[in-house]
C-alpha cells in the first residue's frame, strides 16, 4: 500500500473553500425580496447573483490549480466540478422548506462558469 504524503492546504485552496462555503450559506438562508427584483437587462436579480457567485468560484478554482504544482484535479475538470457543486446546492435547496431549487438557477450558475472560463482564457492568452 502506497502512502500519500501530507500536503498542507495552500491559501488559494482556502479561498476556494471560503467561496464554496459562502455559496452554501447563501443557498440555505432565506432570500427576502431579492427574487422579486429585476436586475440589468430585465433579468431577475437572483439569477445575476447566481452567475456572479459561480463565476467567482470558477475563477478561484482556476487560480488555485494554476498556482499548484500538484493539483488534485486537472484544470479542464473545474467547470464540471463547479457546475456539479451548483447542481448539488440546488438539490440541497429542495430540502430546505423556505427555499426552492430551480433549473433557471442552475442555468445561471453554468452561465457564470462559462463567463469565468472565457475571461480566464483571454487573460491567459494575453500574458
- 57-112 pLDDT per residue, tens: 999 999 999 887 777 788 899 999 999 999 999 999 999 998 888 999 999 999 99
Count of alpha carbons within 13 angstroms of residue 89, beta-carbon side: 25
Give the cell for residue 83. 457546475
Find all residues with CB under 8 Å of 86, minimum gap 6, and list them: 23, 50, 54, 105, 106, 109, 110, 113
The dihedral over CA atoms of 62, 16, 102, 44, expressed in degrees to the nearest 10, equals: -80
Q: What angle do CA 57, 74, 122 make, to 5 degrees?
A: 60
Q: What is the model's pTM?
A: 0.88
Give the cell for residue 22. 459562502
Question: Given a cut of 90, is residue 37 above it in pLDDT?
Answer: no
Q: Which helix (H) or strand (E) holds 123?
A: helix 103-126
Domain ranges of the chain: 40-126
Amino acid at each position: 500500500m502506497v502512502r500519500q504524503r501530507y500536503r498542507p492546504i495552500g491559501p488559494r485552496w482556502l479561498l476556494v473553500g471560503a467561496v464554496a462555503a459562502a455559496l452554501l450559506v447563501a443557498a440555505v438562508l432565506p432570500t427576502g425580496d431579492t427574487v422579486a427584483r429585476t436586475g440589468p437587462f430585465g433579468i431577475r436579480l437572483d439569477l445575476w447573483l447566481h452567475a456572479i457567485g459561480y463565476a467567482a468560484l470558477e475563477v478561484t478554482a482556476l487560480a488555485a490549480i494554476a498556482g499548484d504544482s500538484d493539483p488534485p484535479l486537472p484544470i479542464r475538470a473545474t467547470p464540471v466540478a463547479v457546475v456539479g457543486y451548483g447542481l448539488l446546492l440546488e438539490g440541497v435547496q429542495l430540502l430546505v422548506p423556505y427555499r426552492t431549487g430551480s433549473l433557471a438557477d442552475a442555468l445561471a450558475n453554468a452561465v457564470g462558469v462559462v463567463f469565468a472560463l472565457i475571461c480566464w482564457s483571454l487573460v491567459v492568452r494575453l500574458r
